[in-house]
Amino acid sequence: MFRFFRSDSGQISILVLAISIALLIGTALIGMVAEVIVAQQRLNSKAEAIALAGAQELEFNQEQACAVAQEFSTANYGVTVECLSESTSIEILLSDLNPNRFLNVFLPKIQATSRAGIAGSD
């Protein structure tokens, strides 16, 4: 009489390999997303600093607020900004390329906006 034995000894190795690959891919993806989030936060900080520099000029010379913000941006960060100045506030739009080349397909640019102003006198 012939007996055929099925061995399940190799199945756990394949399962461990599949889980390891999934964890490795997940870790890489989380790292890529974290890189973009850090770049976004840095861009936000730059936009806020530029807006504050322009807002300081609003109190004295409203017409030159955007020029001052642009000068500050170029001198400190080497970037150009889009600026919208009103009588009591200034808004800055800053954009940069996505630093991650794999996520660049889905999100080619990251943008930050910031608004700063002066308090009105009552």
Instruction: Tell me whether residue 36 is exposed, middle or buried, using C-beta atoms within 10 angstroms of its C-beta: 0 to 12, 13 to 18, 19 or more.
Output: middle
Q: Which of 112, 111, 97, 118 is nearest to 53 (CA)?
A: 118
Q: What pLDDT shows up at residue 42? A: 95
Q: What pLDDT shows up at residue 93? A: 95
Entry field: residues in the chain: 122
Q: What pLDDT shows up at residue 2? A: 57
Q: Which parts of the chain register pLDDT below 70?
A: 1-9, 120-122
Pair 54, 116: CB distance under 8 Å: yes
Q: What pLDDT shows up at residue 8? A: 65
- Residue range 82-112, pLDDT digits in tens: 999 888 899 999 999 988 888 888 889 999 9
Q: What pLDDT shows up at residue 18? A: 95
